[in-house]
Amino acid sequence: MTYKTVYDITESSSYLDSVRLISTPFLFVGLIIIATFFRKDKQYKDIFSGKTKAIRKLIIGGLFIAISLSIIISMTIILNSDLHIAMRNGNYKTVEGTVENYIPMPEEGHKQESFDVGGVHFEFSDYSLTIQGYHNAASHGGAIRPNLHVRIKYYQNYYEKRILAGNDIVKLEIQDSN
C-alpha cells in the first residue's frame, strides 16, 4: 500500500507564517514611531514639541520593536520544541488504519475535530494556538475524512501547560488512490 504525505512537521512553515503575521504589525508600528522622531517638518514640531515627548516616542517605538522581536524569538523556540526534536530523533509512535469515530469541527469553530485510528484518539482545532503539529480541520480544507485509510506518526504530549494534552500529529499520510 502506498501513501501520500499530507503533512510533515519538519517541512511545515505554518508557524513561520504565524510569526510573520503576528510580529510584522508591531515591527512596522515601532519603526513608524521612531521614524517620526527624525522628521524635521513644521507640523511635527507643533504636535510633538519638547524633548520629553520626543524621548517618549523613541521609548514607545523601541517597545513595539522589542515586542516584535520577542514574538519572533519565542516562536523560534517553539519551532525547536519537543515536538520537532521528537520527530528529528525518531521519538514518535506510528499508527495505521481507517479513520473511525470521526467528529468534524464546525466551520465556525468552537469545537474540536476528533477521530480514532487503530484505537489511538486524536483531536485538534484550527483555532487553538497551543496545538503543534497537524491541526487543519476538514471544514477548513483538512485531509481527515471518515473511513479514510491513513498512517499517522504522532507524539504523545502530556504537558499540563497545554489546553489539550494528547497525541500531536507530526506526520500524516493518506492512502494513495493511484
Residues of the chain with pLDDT > 70, as a percent, come to: 66
Q: Is 153 a residue whose pLDDT tops 70?
A: yes
- Give the mean model confidence (pLDDT) for residues 146-164: 76
Q: What pLDDT, in 10s, does the model give residues 6-25?
A: 988 877 655 555 666 667 77
Q: In this predicted structure, what is the pLDDT of residue 53?
A: 65
Which among 12-21, 30-39, 43-52, 106-115 has the top mean pLDDT? Answer: 106-115
- Give the mean model confidence (pLDDT) for residues 114-123: 93
Q: What pLDDT, in 10s, does the model give residues 41-74?
A: 444 444 445 556 667 777 777 787 788 777 767 7
Q: Is 152 a residue whose pLDDT tops 90?
A: yes
CB 168 within 8 A of CB 132: yes
Q: In this predicted structure, what is the pLDDT of residue 5?
A: 94
Q: What pLDDT, in 10s, does the model give residues 87-98?
A: 778 889 999 999
Grid cell at residue 170: 507530526
Query: What is the identity of the amino acid at 67?
Result: I
Higher pLDDT, 109 or 66: 66
Average pLDDT, the chain: 76
Give this prediction's pTM: 0.63
CB 137 within 8 A of CB 126: yes
Smallest CA-to-CA distance from 103 within 92, 88, 116, 114 is with 114
Maximum Cα interatomic distance, the chain, rounded to a whole number of Å: 74
Taking the alpha carbons at both ends of the chain, their separation in whole angstroms is: 10
Angstrom distance (rounded) from CA 149 to CA 95: 11
Domain at 3-10+91-175: CATH architecture: Beta Barrel (2.40)
Phi, psi (deg, nearest 5) at residue 151: -125, 125
Q: What pLDDT, in 10s, does the model give residues 72-81?
A: 677 666 655 6
CA 125 to chain centre: 11
CA 76 to chain centre: 11
Q: In this predicted structure, what is the pLDDT of residue 119?
A: 93
Grid cell at residue 139: 471544514
Residues of the chain with pLDDT > 90, as a percent, come to: 24
